[in-house]
Amino acid sequence: MLRTFVCWLAFLMAGLPVAAFGYTTEKKKEEEPKRRPTIDYSEIRRKTRSVDVQIAAKRAEIRSQLQELLKYEQDPKEVAALKFRLAENFYEEATDYFNQAQEQDDELAKDPTNEKLRAKVDAAKKALRVKEDEWRLKAIEAYREVANTYKDYPERDKVLFFLGSSLWDMDKKADALTIYKELIGTYPKSKFVPDAYLAFAEYYFEQATKGSAMLEKALIAYKKVAEYEDSEVYPYAIYKQGWCYYNMGECEQAKDKFQTVIYLEDMEGSGKKRRFEIRKEALKDFTLTYSREGCGSAQDAPRIFGKLAPKESHDLLVSLANLYFGTGQDKKSIILYKHLIGEEKCSPEVPFYQGRVVECASRLGKDSAARRYTVQQVRELVDLFRKIAECIQKPSDAQKNRIKEARELAELTLRRMCNDWYKEARETKQKETFEYAQEMCGDYLELSPDSVYAYDIRFAYAEMLYHWLKLFERAATEYSKIVAVDLAYLKEHKKFPEPPKDGKPPERTLPGTYLCDASYKTIMALREVNKADAKKEKKARKEREKAEKAEKGDAAQAAEEKSGCQQKQKLPLPKSKQRFIEAARIYMDHCPSDQDYCPITYDIANSYYDYHHFDEAMKRFDAVVDRCPDSELADYSANLVLEILDKFQCDMDGLNKYADKYFQNAKLMAKNEKLRTYLQELIPKIAFKRIEVLEEKLRKPAPNQPPMPDNRIHRKVAYEYIGFVKKFRNHELAPVALFNAGVEFEKAERLDLALKARRKLVDEYPKSDLVPGTIFNLAENYERMADYDKAASLYETYASRYKEMAGLGKAVSYKAKPGKGEKAPPKKEKKKEEKKIEGNKRTWNVEDAQAALLNAGIYREALRQYPQAVKDREEFIHLFPDADDTPKVVYSLGLMFEKTKKYPRAIEMFLKYADQYGRKLPDRAIAARMKAALLYNRLKKFREAERAMQEVLAAYRKIPAAKRKTMYEAAEAAAHAEFIQSEPLYTEYVKYKFNTSDPKKVKPQLDEKTRRLEKVKKAYEEIVKLGQAEWAIASLYKLGRAYEDFAETYYKAPLPAGLTPEQKSLYQDGLRQMGQPWEDKAVAHFEAAVVKGSDLGFYSQFTQRALEKLQQYRPDKYPREDLGFNLSVVADTASRSPLLVATWEEVMKNPALLDEAPLQTERKERPETRAAPEEPKAPEGEASPATEPGKEEAGQPAEGATKTGTPAKDSSPPPAEPDEFGEEPKEDL
């Protein structure tokens, strides 16, 4: 016998990891993972060892007594027994901490989506595990001492087993197996030997993923355990053999083992109660094995499962059918579903089975037979629905009696099934079982709501809905019913009944038992309901707030946004929130607990807060801070109190009061470092806010106080900001205060102090987000001083710095506000834009870099610094090739090159514009190509010019007629091109003259002249149709000249030879009569040209020429006198050269601007405002006030610098100030 055990032990230890004997660096082989059973070995071990875990105080008392006895006991046997009991005490202590850690999971199960709760639970479990390990190590040491020191101790086998079990719990499996080896070798007849073998088997099974060899060792070990038939782990060993065979692919052996377990449990019945139940798992795993390909026949399944488990055969067949269905074994699925339909007939499950048959049939194939079969099954499905409805439609009297009996029996059956299924569901933790159980319990409560058992069943029903099925609305309703029952009892009886004094459990659950638990769960369930409804509620609140804004009006809304104080009207609490608050009130009234007070109070306060009941919310938030100052909720609550006072109630005194109160709360500060830091920062922010409040008060003085002038208000506010900087120099708002001081000094017409503030900001806070904006402010100051060279240099500096920041990834971009006719951006983008503009702070951003380069280019061009202007605009195109203004810049470069007579470069820019932006901006692209054509003409490249004009006309003709109405530049270019191309027709027409007086020859010449006139007329009339003023007038003038030429053709026609003077006179009179109608037509066209120009307010050289012709032909109607305009400045389309295309509208209004300094309309306008502290990281630019430019040098004030329209009060510079900004004037104090 001993030799057998030695051999067996040698086999077992051969499979142990090398770590059990020494360290190895050999890489473990990886294999495909095997499928595992759902029963956990740790549960088996814990159930095989019962522990009487007493209360901590009792254990400590026993431990103290044992330690005291050990001091005096001399008998080795007694000492061993005492030390063994002491080890057991240590083990119980460890088990208690283990149980506490497990209870933490139950707490998390109440709200599994709460990440904060999860973190809290994890931390608590970690601490408990540490304690557990400490006591377990003590137990191990104690067990080891007894096992090693007292070899003759009668229960040493038990000690060894408990030692190995404890080592296993500590995940020291190699050491545990070593102990189990000693147990098996030393005490082969011990009752713990099967469990020791089982440990080896489980170890090999766990390692089975590393190779089939380990799985075979596990199988051998399980077989060894199975030799001990009286052991409690005997059925489990057989069960795990089945799993070994399953993973080895031997389905027949696996089925045999699972079947053995089932029969074994059936035979033993209630005669031998085991600590764990595996019959259900064996049935499930037998079904799983049977469902494998080649492991079972669908036709034989009803017989086999009926014999195997008659009671469960139906459910097992359903499961088997579903497995077939899920694995695509459609023919087998159909066979089983048909069998189930034949068995149940009138069951509501039948349509479900038939539906699956239909789906399986549809997947059998696409041949005609398969499809015919599918149609047949669909028909059967329809018939089955009808039959189910018909089978109980008109019950007989006997059936009615049976229904009554069935109701009574149903109460008993449903109650039993509800209890059993609920118990089974809690043990297996399968959702499907919970669903069945909750349905059963729900049906029971609907059938017997007043039953004496309804109280318990309703609570179990609610628990399933809440914890496992997550049906929170229904769970809250059921919990509320339990609470209502208990409160009704309490109202009637004044108090709940006391439990029996003898300690025996009552026959039924006493009223009030579930009151606290149910009321608390009501709160938790309603909290989840509110989470689900949060989106709907948020949308409804937004709609109400939108309606409120509409009621306030734009002016009130703007004033509210400017003040930063949001006036919120109380919103009605939704029904779910009211239910939540009422449930919380009941809980707080009847079940007060320090543990739950603060979370629930916080939730109530948060509900009030969401619906703008700020007084109620603040009272409860403050209560949370007072009651639980060292909790995380206290931090949130304190912040919300401060937010209410600051943002919604705008109560600066209250804000000071509560900020000081919380800062003085030592516990609150000790546990909330962030809040402490926030309060430390809040004091300067309050000081900053007081400046804004002061400004508002100065602008709206009391009725009995005289108003203060604006410049004094700005000056006083500026000095307040300077005082803030002196007091809080290192605070994050210090640069903001300096920025605002610069704005206020500038508004107070103290440009010298504004420059000092801004230079101080740039010098002392170079990393501030306000520096980019300050650079712009300084540039604008130089603009006001008319020092455009320095302003341009600053703008170029900004662009250069932006280029560096963009390379470092530190530049940002904001979308521009929508223009007229454009859609507004989404709400989120709109909010972002508002934050950007608020405070007028800038970053190194795309928009400002673009504006800087545009402004610099304008100023360089105005200063005649054309190379630098070109460089700025080329840099713009390089940096921002896809910007909205890039096309304008490209076009403006063409105009600039044209102005500086660099015609090839101008042609290059115009053609680049036409080619690159032809699709996006066809209007100007066509005009640009026409500009290139005209410049080709100047360079005498007539072929290129002709080709360019042909391309202009081709592009214009492709444009739909409806779009041409808005494309003025393209139409003008096309008209110009048509006009130029019509010139050869006109020239040929004019050249053609009568050269004979022979009547026979005159008529063909007249016909030819008329034909040419029609061509000219048609060409110029087409130009007039384009509707472009200049070229329409020019065409009218040219038509007049054509008719004039026709008249002159008659007037200057050759006379016949041999005429007398009288005959000549008569002949010439006849010619004049024939030419007069043509002359009248010419005059009409000249008048049309002048009238058209007058109507359109457009005067050109053609208008002047037409007027001169009228003065020639109609001197009485059109005398020669002052025309009322200077033709020298009339723009000619062929040579028009505005600085930028965006300035052309002003050129049209004042043509003389073409000969003056460049315009500045391309500059980006920015709102004039101060920086605000709320958004320090969303900077945006600021524009200076549009005051009259002054003169300043290196920080000295401008002489006579005043706001536009305001006389200077003191033209001399202020005296030197010792503290840089000087003292605030006494008149402002």
Q: How far apart are CA 593 and CA 1110, in angstroms?
A: 106
Q: How far apart are CA 364 and CA 414, in angstroms?
A: 40
Q: How far apart are CA 681 and CA 687, in angstroms?
A: 10
Beta carbons within 8 Å of 44's beta carbon, 6+ residues apart: 198, 233, 236, 276
In three-state form (DSSP H/G/I as H, E/B as E, the rest C), the secondary structure along 480-528 is HHHHHHHHHHHHHHCCCCCCCCCCCCCCCCCCCCCHHHHHHHHHHHHHH
Amino acid letter for position 218: A
CATH of domain 564-687: 1.25.40
- Tokens representing 136? 């377990």
Please, what is the end-to-end C-alpha distance for the chain in angstroms? Answer: 109
Beta carbons within 8 Å of 762's beta carbon, 6+ residues apart: 771, 774, 775, 778
For the chain (length 1229 residues), average pLDDT per consecutive 10? 40 40 35 59 61 72 86 85 87 87 82 86 89 89 88 88 88 89 89 89 79 80 87 87 87 88 75 63 89 88 89 89 88 88 74 73 68 62 61 49 43 65 80 73 73 87 88 90 90 86 78 88 87 74 70 62 70 84 85 76 87 88 87 87 83 80 84 81 79 82 83 89 86 87 87 84 81 80 82 85 74 55 47 37 78 89 90 89 90 90 90 88 88 90 89 87 83 87 86 76 82 87 82 88 85 80 82 85 87 81 88 86 43 34 39 38 42 43 36 35 34 44 65
Q: How far apart are CA 1081 and CA 1013, in angstroms?
A: 13
Q: Given this model, what pLDDT does residue 302 score?
A: 92
Buried b (16+ CB within 10 A) or exposed e, 838-855: bbbbbbbbbbbbbbbbbb
Q: Given this model, what pLDDT does residue 892 score?
A: 92
Contact at 8 Å (CB) between 508 and 454?
no
Give the global pTM: 0.40
Q: Report the SS3 class of residue 767.
A: coil
> Exposed, middle or buried by CB within 10 Å (0-12, 13-18, 19+), for 355?
middle
User: Which single residue is written with the structure tokens 């999860």?
Assistant: 118
Q: In the chain, where are the structural domains located?
A: 400-497+509-537, 564-687, 959-1130
Q: Given this model, what pLDDT does residue 559 score?
A: 60
Q: Report the SS3 class of residue 790.
A: helix
DSSP readout, 113-155? T-HHHHHHHHHHHHHHHHHHHHHHHHHHHHHHHHHHH-TT-TT
Q: How far apart are CA 1139 and CA 859, in angstroms?
A: 11
Q: How far apart are CA 654 and CA 649, in angstroms?
A: 9
User: Cα torsion for 411, 412, 418, 420, to the nearest 10°?
Assistant: 180
Residue from 1008, 997, 1110 nearest 1052 by CA: 997
> Exposed, middle or buried by CB within 10 Å (0-12, 13-18, 19+), for 1203?
middle
Contact at 8 Å (CB) between 314 and 343?
yes
Q: Report the SS3 class of residue 1130.
A: coil
- CA dist list (Å): 680 to 281, 662, 702, 729: 62, 11, 33, 15
- Tokens representing 168? 């296993």
- Tokens representing 220? 């051998």
DSSP readout, 32-44? PPPP--SS-HHHH
Q: Given this model, what pLDDT does residue 400 score?
A: 36
Maximum Cα interatomic distance, the chain, rounded to a whole number of Å: 177
Q: How far apart are CA 425 and CA 467, in angstroms?
A: 12
Q: How far apart are CA 902 and CA 908, in angstroms?
A: 10
Q: Which DSSP symbol is given to 465?
A: I
Q: How many Cα atoms sit within 13 Å of 296 on the Cβ side? A: 29
DSSP readout, 395-451? --HHHHHHHHHHHHHHHHHHHHHHHHHHHHHHHH--HHHHHHHHHHHHHHHHH-TT-
DSSP readout, 808-871? TT--B--PPPP-TTSPPPPHHHHHHHHHHHGGG---SBHHHHHHHHHHHHHHHHHTT-HHHHHH
Task: Give the dihedral sign, CA 368/370/373/379.
Answer: negative
Count helices and strands in the chain by DSSP H and E runs: 49, 0
The CATH number fitting domain 400-497+509-537, selected from 1.25.40, 1.10.10, 2.120.10, 1.20.1070: 1.25.40
300 phi, psi to nearest 5 deg: -85, -10
Task: Please list the alpha-helical segments (H only) found in 673-819.
Answer: 673-699, 710-727, 734-747, 751-764, 771-784, 788-807
- Tokens representing 1122? 């002052």
Q: How far apart are CA 673 and CA 557, in angstroms?
A: 37
Q: How far apart are CA 448 and CA 453, in angstroms?
A: 9
In three-state form (DSSP H/G/I as H, E/B as E, the rest C), the secondary structure along 363-380 is CCCCCHHHHHHHHHHHHH
- Comparing 400-497+509-537 with 564-687, is the CATH topology the same? yes
Buried b (16+ CB within 10 A) or exposed e, 828-837: eeeeebebbb
